[in-house]
Amino acid sequence: MSPLLQTFANGSALGYRSLSAAAATSFESIATVSVGSGGTGSITFSSIPSTFTHLQIRAIYNTEVQGENIGMTLNTSITSTRVHYLSGNGTSASAGSETTNLFTLQAGFDTQKMYGVVVDILDYANTNKNKTIRTLGGIDTNGGGVIFMSSNLYSTTSAITTIKLAPLSAIDFQQYSHFALYGIKSA
């Protein structure tokens, strides 16, 4: 995926590949969810069309509990996945990998409750290969902060048609949390 240089009112974006030739990439809004008063226990994007090359989720969310992990379920279940991660807070960094049956969007930061995240789901409709998911997110802690990056391998060739996001504890996404799902068409 090309880095974004400029966006346009019609939803298209201008990026570049390999730091050279210009290429156009189109982002199209599929669905958005803004959490209202009282919160909600999960966010689900369903009936995702297979007409795009990749998917992207952009979210700003707040939970009732500081440092709450958010799970992502693709279709109705998760098969074993391999995750690699890197996080840092300006004074220390951590990295690692693990095999798990759960995707998480952030990993237990305990200084704030509001997080921002961008999740790319590559080749989500391609039934000839496993799926790669990459996440970039973080928080601002008024003078500090944390950033995290991760990549996941979703070990199935099934097309992804449903995405569910939910806090791992019995808590809710709070009011003003916002989630947007975009389809990306490559040039």
The string of pLDDT tens digits covering residues 46-84 is: 999 999 999 999 998 887 766 667 788 888 776 557 788
Task: Give the pLDDT of residue 150.
Answer: 87
* Degrees to nearest 5, angle at CA 134 with 61 and 71: 45
The CA–CA distances, whole Å, from 169 to 7, 70, 111 equal 37, 9, 18
* Phi/psi of residue 72, nearest 5 degrees: -125, 120
The structural domains of the chain, ordered by start, are 28-186 (2.60.120)
Cα separation, 62 vs 105, in Å, equals: 13
In this structure, which amino acid lies at residue 55?
A: L
Give the residue among 115, 118, 134 at the shortest CA–CA distance from 173.
115
Residues 6+ apart with CB under 8 A from 22: 14, 15, 16
pTM for the whole structure: 0.79
Cα 52 to the center of its chain, rounded Å:
16
What residues of the chain score a pLDDT lower than 70?
Answer: 1-25, 65-68, 78-80, 100-113, 141, 143, 187
